[in-house]
Structure 1
Amino acid sequence: MLVEQFGITVRSSRMPHQDSSVKFLDSRVICTERYGSGLSKRYYCGHSGALECERDSTDQTYHSLRDVFVSLFLPHGFPYSVSEDYLEYQLWDTLQAFASSVTGSLATHSLLRGSGVGDSTATVTAATITWLLRDGTGMLGRIVFAWMKGSRLDCDAKRWRLFADILNDVAIFLEILAPVFPLFFTLTVCMAGIFKCIVGVAGGATRAALTVHQARRDNMADVCAKDGSQETLVNLAGLLVSLFLVPLVSESLWVTYVLFLFLTSLHLYANYRAVGSIVMETLNQSRLSIVLAHYLQEGRILSPAAANRMEPLLPGLGVQVPVELGVPLTSLINSVSRLEVLMKGSRSLYLLGWRPDTERLAVVLHEEASSIDVIRSAVHAEILHQRTRSSSHSSLTERDRVAVLAETHAQLDLMFADFHYGLCTAGWATERNLLGADDWRINWDDHKEQ
């Protein structure tokens, strides 16, 4: 009989119909033990009842080296402590980091040459001022970008991750190109510095969001630390390759450009594959649109893996519903009568309508609205947009708007319970979402009671 618990398999050594007072036989395994997916041991009953341990002798040298590598560069408990897409993502991420490290060395060589290293007519003061301007403008760019886009990075982590890597390649290209135009060297270097600081914000923030996704045993710190170890090893390898390559290409700009083009192509391809391998179980607007469209057409919910494969990754691609979630009440209505109309037609913890000043749909959320209510409001907005996209906001009369809102509310009442159940059974996490709702909340219960 086998009993498995806490990674230990206990095997009964008694033969059928054997008396319970008979002790374990010397040659029979009492239990086996494993450490994650690596070390394996077997326990025997030795002489005089002593417990004896024997390590699995199969490929001990291979397993020893493998265990050392895993402990150095992979999270504790791998592969059970991370998401299923972890290994594929890290492999592609390692390749792109190597390519970026080498191109970064080419850019550093160009910057030093443009700053006057090796030029007897150049001054240290001029080079220092250029470097200070580069760092200063980059810091300002970092602050402005974090202020403008910081709250959106979680919602589209994969897309912003790819955007950061594309922008990083643009910055490196500007740094390599800067010495060719000495009159604009400082301006070009400052622009590259701004881009690199934006890359630091977008790349770092989205990497943290992906780490939260990958950590499955509340081990985010361990996953982040081992990712740093992997990156350090890759950068070391890139450094060694750069020590060999840079002297070879330093005298030829065309060779430098060809090498940069090759490494950048490799970098972008590896990044696209890395980001495309991620399977997020939370809904953002892109994934919700894909899942809802398939549900309305086929009557079933796509799995997270299938929906993530269909999600557009390049910035600017994909059609999203023009909806704002969690807006203040004044953004949606400007009269008490309009408020009463929306509340009368709503049986949920949100109010949906068109903003008076734009064509965009807007959602006011109740203070008790949960993640499910936010998802429902986004689904409602998607359906309402599909029903009215052939007509502009200005061409719809007040009666038309009230009628279509009532019809879509009734449609949601009929379908959303089944839609939500399908999301849960397909593996989607509905207790949280990445739909980007703002923090405005309202309580209209007191008004309804009057």
Structure 2
Amino acid sequence: MKVHFREQYGTRGQEFLYVTPIDQDTIVRVTINGKKPAISKGFFLLNLLQKTLLPQGYPDSVSDDYLDYQKYDTLQALASTITGCLATHSVLQGLGVGDESSTALSATITWILKDGAGHLGRILFAYWKGSELDIDSKKWRLRADVLNDLAMSIELFLLPYYPMYSTYILCVTTMMKAVVGVAGGATRSALTLHHAIRNNMADVSAKDSAQETCVNLIGSFIGLFLLTSITNPAWVATMFFIFTFIHIYANVKAVKSVCLKTFNEARYLIALEEFFRNNSVLPPKVVNHLERVTVGQTVSLTAKVKIGCSVKDLTEQIRNKYEIEDLVACFETRDKFLIAETKNYVGVYLHYDIKPHEILRAYFFVASYLQDRTQIKNNYWEVQAKWSEFLNLAQLAGYNVHSHLLHVDEFRCDWRFI
């Protein structure tokens, strides 16, 4: 028997051989043990489900944390759909469904005002926090789902008892859900970008949408069953709280399972603290586990830091030209950032040509400066040597040091002619 080809679909697919048996001239396809492949109905259905719900090339086409994230994301979507069904019943009551005294016009007006409040909420939230959604995608993903649960709780427990204020209540909850839509959609895109390691973001996003649609369909039937079989308000409230708890728990587990390898401020400070203490860099999985996904940060600096700020504040506090010249002299002529502490914060002033990895370097110098405010002026090259060591260790640990998720304002300046 002569083997012509050996074939496998992905790294987990079954292997096949294309061979010519000894007494034949025709090439046949056999399994690795020499038997002809037999396709069962179960295998066909499993293969169809995988192609429908998982990105092409799974698991090689997605990040290592994809499966853990999707398990909890599926659970939270199911719980959210069920609680949404329970809350929808109260919303329809608030709009006057089943009330003989209510008119179609009043329900229409309420619906239009509710939608208008939602549109306004989207615009205001995008203006207020739009730039922070990439930086703290885990936190905002969790906050969005908690806010969604809060909005549904208001609809379920307030609308039936205060029908005269239904328009106001629905406007408030719709505005809250609008914030959820903006924050949830934006952070989902950020996480999808992380999972899509083959530049296959559209495929990963499409399959994620298919998974969510499938789960929502199942959750809708469960919610419908609960609404028709449970008439006691106390039991409805109990089921709502149970599924809300499951929803929040699954969301926490989902965002905690994500292992981002790009530094935001929280992850960068955790890594820097370990480096300054033990001269080592924690792996991304450990840093992501230590990162807080609720409120606050695991590690914080002793002063507020602003990156990419205007020199207007600096020149208003340091008006003497010799002091400015001394400040510039603390840095190398090739450096594309300056660091100066003013009354309210430590400012990082960026050159027009600065690159993302140099912003990481600037933040490293700020952290060193806040440990010892004489380091940059007196021990510049020691700080530079430590940065080079940290950069090398971070790359070996698997971090992406060519981009960052630090909050950087847009002011740029030049001081080379000083």
When the two structures are superposed, what TM-score results if normalisation uses the length of structure 1?
0.85
Does 2:412 match 1:431? no
Report deviation, 1:437: 1.4
1:70 aligns with 2:41: no
C-alpha spacing 1:272/1:231, structure 2 compared with 1 (3 Å): same
| Pairing 1:400-411 to 2, within 5 Å after superposition | 403=374, 405-407=376-378, 409-411=380-382
Contact map agreement 1:350 1:364 (CA 8 A) in 2 = yes
2:395 pairs with 1:414:
no
SS for the counterpart of 1:333 is helix
Distance across 1 between alignment mates of 2:280 and 2:83:
46
Paired residues of 1:383 and 1:408 also in contact (CA < 8 A) = no
- Is the contact made by 2:80 and 2:247 (CA closer than 8 Å) also made in structure 1? yes
Q: Equivalences for 1:81-92 in 2 at 5 Å?
A: 81-92=61-72
Q: Report the Cα distance in structure 2 between the residues aligned to 1:281 and 1:59, rounded to whole angstroms.
A: 43
CA positional deviation for 1:299: 1.2
**What amino acid is aligned across from residue 208 of structure 2 in structure 1?**
D
Deviation at 1:370, TM superposition (A): 1.7
Number of the residue aligned with 1:373: 358
Deviation at 1:244, TM superposition (A): 0.7
Deviation at 1:404, TM superposition (A): 5.3
SS of corresponding position for 2:315:
coil
- Go from structure 1 to structure 2 and tell me whether the alpha carbon gap of 1:420 and 1:114 turns closer, same or farther (over 3 Å shift): same
Between 1:51-60 and 1:369-378, the stretch displaced more is: 51-60
- Cα deviation for residue 118 of structure 1 reads 0.9
Q: What's the CA shift for 1:98?
A: 0.2
- Asked whether 1:40 is paired with 2:15, we answer yes
1:125-144 matched pairs, under 5 angstroms? 125-144=105-124
Counterpart residue number, 2:285: 305
The CA deviation at 1:223 is: 0.2
Given that 2:74 and 2:212 are in contact with CA atoms closer than 8 Å, whether structure 1 keeps it comes out as yes
For residues 172 and 112 of structure 2, what CA distance do their matches in structure 1 show? 13
Q: Which amino acid aligns with 1:413?
A: Q
Which residue number corresponds to residue 361 of structure 1? 346
State the one-letter code of the partner of 2:151.
A
- Count of residues in Structure 1 that have an aligned counterpart in Structure 2: 404
Structure 1 pair 263/58, CA: closer, same or farther in 2 (3 Å)? farther
Distance 1:408 1:327 in 2: 25
**How far off is 1:324 after superposition?**
1.2
Label 1:182 to 1:366 Cα distance change in 2 as closer, same or farther (>3 A): same
1:53 to 29, 41, 45: 29
Q: In the TM superposition, what are the counterparts of 1:388-407 in structure 2 within 5 Å?
A: 403=374, 405-407=376-378
Q: Deviation string for 1:71-102 (max 9, x for gaps)?
A: 01000000000000001100100000000000
Compared CA separation, residues 327 and 272, structure 1 to 2 (3 A): same
1-structure distance, mates of 2:247, 2:16: 42
CA distance in 1, matches of 2:15, 2:189: 34
Select the residue among 325, 332, 356 that pairs with 2:314.
332
How is 1:238-257 mapped onto 2 (pairs within 5 angstroms)?
238-249=219-230, 251-257=231-237
**How far has the Cα of 1:136 moved from its partner?**
0.7
Q: Which has the larger radius of gyration?
A: 1
Q: Distance in 1 between matches of 2:368 and 2:37?
A: 59
C-alpha contact (below 8 Å) 1:350/1:365 kept by paired residues = yes
Q: Which residue of 2 aligns with 1:352?
A: 339
1:58/1:270 CA distance change after superposition, 3 Å:
farther
1:232 aligns with 2:213: yes
Deviation, structure 1 residue 411: 3.9
Two-structure CA RMSD over aligned residues (Å): 1.9
Q: Aligned with 1:79: secondary structure?
A: coil
Task: Say if 1:174 and 1:189, in contact at 8 Å, map to a contact too.
Answer: no
Match for residue 150 of structure 1? 130
Which whole-Å CA distance do the structure 2 matches of 1:59 and 1:159 have between them?
Answer: 48
Corresponding residue for residue 214 of structure 1: 195
Distance 2:378 2:282 in 1: 26
- List runs of 5+ in structure 1 lacking aligned partners: 1-25, 388-400
Distance 2:56 2:307 in 1: 39
1:20 aligns with none
Residue 341 of structure 1 pairs with residue 316 of structure 2: no
Give the whole-Å Cα distance in 1 for the aligned partners of 2:215 and 2:289: 28
Aligned-partner Cα distance in 1 for 2:46–2:71 = 16
Contact 2:290 2:298 in 1 (8 A): no
CA drift at 1:60: 4.3
The answer to whether residue 417 in structure 2 is matched with residue 442 in structure 1 is no
Q: Deviations over 1:204-241 (max 9, x none)?
A: 00000011100011100000000000000000001111
How far did 1:300 drift?
A: 0.6
Give the superposition deviation at 1:164: 0.7
| Partners of 2:118 and 2:177 within 8 A in 1 | yes
More displaced stretch, 344-353 vs 232-241:
344-353
TM-score, normalised to structure 2, is 0.92
CA distance in 2, matches of 1:386, 1:175: 50
For 2:367 and 2:235, how far apart are their aligned partners in 1? 51
